[in-house]
Structure 1
């Protein structure tokens, strides 16, 4: 057991390594299952808003990105244990998460959370609401009078509504909008919730230099308008 723990710590302490061109490799951890933020395309590669954003941030920080996918429910523990060096996975900045890991400045403003259901007369205050586990939406529902049912993947939350296991699903509006538009059985409800402090890159608290590099890169993208252009391209909310 001691040798396993030591190996894990060693991995975490040597998160990046220099290439011949002087750049360092940074392993970008994402879920790959939450479009338009991140998803796996037909070629089997990570794609989406955060793939484009992450590659541009690495270029500006003179880092080399390597993309790693990880299931959402273990994405923070596997960052801490050194399986990758960042989380770039539509993760909202919250005080609870900030106690375990560190965050860069936000690269999106808080995206409205929306409800999708099969009818407009759903009881959002006392009904059964689905959310992906360990998300800001799940935490929000848990503090209301509704019954929360949690699922490991976002696709399962949609299935729960369609099979009658839940009355509605609460998730990022940018994720739900194309699903509701393409499925005649589903509808977007008028009510929205504004939760969290925007989305940022998650990093280990010890990786202060890496955080500074990414913060500087995000700032430069905000200042030259390229971040807003990406936000508009992927239709994920308002720009800065």
Structure 2
């Protein structure tokens, strides 16, 4: 679990780093601009890291299934070599998706349009800058959406369906509570991330209003990666004890 969490933390750190610095410069500075090369890099890394996170969350769901439903065989099923191969597959899959979509999107003619009406350079905003409609890109984006969004979320739902059946057979309240703590953090992250991304990318690009698109982009590119460490950390037993200890010390010092 901690091997996958370390990859997720590193991915979220890279995700936020590729977007937030330039966004803060544009929000605070007098000129709200970005170079063409910077826009391309931001577009590529955001798409690469976002696709990788979609696959990684599905892999983590399988890990939770093995931990809950096959506890005695967990170390045999989730051996280090398999974990490394699955993580490598997620990174390579995200890279392939980013290269495909970026190369097709950047080839669209923009007829002099140079203004990105969004907080960052991402696919929906760049497609709306094009002066031609490309059915090919829409089909490819939909196909990649099925591979990187619908397929992983389906595997996650299947994993949690099996986990739910296993939990319902548990009579011990302590074990039942432990299972919920084990899966609760991952399920919360999946809901926050997939809910906004699927709504953003699986709908026709012209059906989403610009203001709503900006909010959704801000949510899944900045807010969700920022919340992920807090969600996992605050559900950790040792962290909970440390936080309670700090709060108790502060209360005592305030009373004295």
Question: TM-score w.r.t. structure 1 length?
Answer: 0.23
Q: As a proportion of its length, which structure holds more strand?
A: 1
Q: As a proportion of its length, which structure holds more helix?
A: 2
Question: TM-score w.r.t. structure 2 length?
Answer: 0.22
Larger Rg: 2
